[in-house]
Structure 1
Amino acid sequence: MMKHDESNKLINKSEKLEDFETIRLQSHQNPTKPFRFFSSADCLSKNPIVYRRRDFFKVSLLRGHYIVHYGDESIKAIGCSLSFFSPLVPYTIKQLEQEENAGYMIFTELYYDTYFKQGIRHSPLFNKESKPIFLLDQKQEEEVKAIFLKIEQQEKSDYLFKDDLIRNLLSELMHYANTLQPAIERHYAHSSKERLHSVFNELLDRQFPVVAGQHQQLRTAGDFAETLNVHVNYLNRILKEMTGKSTSAILYERLLREAIILLKHTTWSVSEIAYSLGFKDVSHFNHFFRKHAHATPSHFRN
């Protein structure tokens, strides 16, 4: 069972974009602002921002040596790279050697779509098939840095219509990226089994913390296998090799942990918890919890 302070931290850890200013910058101004720009100084802080749900878009400009695990691939970026990330694809960035970080920006879909007729998800940069990571030469780096600088300056300004300018600059940056060739060098230091395991964990993490009244999207081993585009038996075999546990066992452990957190640290009813965790009804949830926790949800809570 998780310690009380650890469980409480998890359940209260919101993944909404508006909380970044409060948590990251210790500021309580404009808590619902749908756009954030983080400068090089922010990126080099000893307290890095942790993305868990990634329910927003991100654009970053990095210089150094990185491995970007994007979906089911690992892409090596050496030098200056411009990257676009959407909520559709899980990703992590492993820093091997950092030379400079020009910054990055995060924003909601609504922030962009309310200004342009065509939604951002229609952009080639943000579909599931593309790998929108671009290695820049010196001239391209200077041009992209100039756009980043303009966005940063506008974000800090008091100009009444600065968001219109930022969205135009963001659109310009996206159009510029569409003229570039994406990075094609794949990094094979991680085996396909390790990548599958890593992406599975990413997908699993993205399911939590759950939202009240919102049914969990991926619940069964088959759901995860379909999303990962592999046969469920293959996924089960790889996870068994990597962890010693079956896919179902890993999912059951995580569901039990999240159920315990919700029972201890929320006022949700047992039926609300059952629905949010993806169970068909309360009786199935009660049976699952009693089998794995050796107590009913109501008895455990009391």
Structure 2
Amino acid sequence: MESNETLKGFYSRVGLECVKTPGVGHFNVFSRESCSLVTPYSRRDYYKISLIIGKGKLNYADKWIYVDQPALLFSNPVIPYSWEAENTDQRGFFCLFTDEFVHEANRLGNLQDSRLFKIGGTPVFFVNEEQQETVADIFIKMTNEIQSDYLHKYDMLRAYLHLLIHETMKMQPAESFEPYQNASQRIASLFMELLERQFPIDSPERFLKL
């Protein structure tokens, strides 16, 4: 079974020092030009929203989709996924954040119950030119804000995240996912991961109490 990628593991993989945001959970935003062309198939311990400008293949749970036009990707800590870029021309942005960051103001509710992040939902939204411009502008504002010295910048970043989610909820999700030939293995792996998350056992000495 694939291990989870932690925030520390992510920063190590991309060659950056993990940024601490004490008291507000974690949030950061990046340009996709600096990301790796292939990401490992695994769950993450964080949420991630990506504006993908570039071609590639997204493997998501028991299915996959070919991304050949600008798209938004919403990933959560429950569903494993990987990205395989078709070429080096990869642009766009992505932000990653934790439950603690969102629940600091309790504005977005339970993300895993929303149609953007929920299990069984469609995580990819292809965007037209106007939508791409709107979304890119939000990411640019996030990038500028996180570099600022404004005392309440994380409240601003949370507001931009809220705006990004609502802008996407007005869009139609992609419907061109393809199943894997070995879909049963992917489904079994996903089920075991969900079971493990629902009933975690940290050590053999810690028994599950019903």
TM-score between both structures, scaled by the size of structure 1: 0.56
Q: Shift of residue 93 of structure 1?
A: 1.9
Q: Does 1:174 align with 2:165?
A: yes
Q: Deviations over 1:210-263 (max 9, x none)?
A: xxxx516xxxxxxxxxxxxxxxxxxxxxxxxxxxxxxxxxxxxxxxxxxxxxxx
Answer with 1 or 2: which has the greater Rg: 1
Which one of the candidate residues 80, 90, 99 is aligned to 1:100?
90
Q: 2:153 aligns with which of 151, 162, 171?
A: 162
Alignment pair present for 1:153 and 2:144: yes
Matched, 1:114 2:104: yes
Q: Conserved in 1, the CA contact under 8 Å of 2:4 and 2:42?
A: no
Segments of structure 2 that go 5 or more residues without pairing to the other structure are none
2:62 corresponds to 1:72: yes
Aligned partner letter, 1:87: P
- 1:38 — aligned with what? 30
The CA RMSD measured in Å over matched residues stands at 3.3
User: Residues 22 and 139 of structure 1: is their aligned pair in 2 closer, same or farther, counting only changes over 3 Å?
Assistant: same
Q: Does 1:197 align with 2:185?
A: yes
Give the structure-2-normalised TM-score. Answer: 0.78
Contact map agreement 1:15 1:54 (CA 8 A) in 2: yes
- The corresponding residue for 1:143 is 134
Q: What 5-or-longer segments of structure 1 have no aligned partner?
A: 1-12, 209-213, 217-271, 281-302
| Distance change >3 Å, CA 14–CA 97, structure 1 → 2 | closer
Q: Find the partner of 2:76 among 62, 86, 94.
A: 86
The count of residues paired between Structure 1 and Structure 2 equals 202
Q: Bigger relative contact order, structure 1 or 2, given CA contacts below 8 A and separation 6+?
A: 2
More strand by share: 2
Number of the residue aligned with 2:114: 123
Q: Is the 8 A contact 1:90 1:203 kept in 2?
A: no
Distance 1:206 1:55, change over 3 A: farther
Percentage identity across aligned positions? 25
Give, in whole Å, the separation in 1 of the partners of 2:173 and 2:19. Answer: 37
The 5 A counterparts of 1:20-35 are 20-21=10-11, 24-27=14-17, 30=20, 34-35=26-27
1:159 to partner: Cα distance: 1.4
- Provide the rounded CA distance (Å) in 2 between the counterparts of 1:93 and 1:49: 5
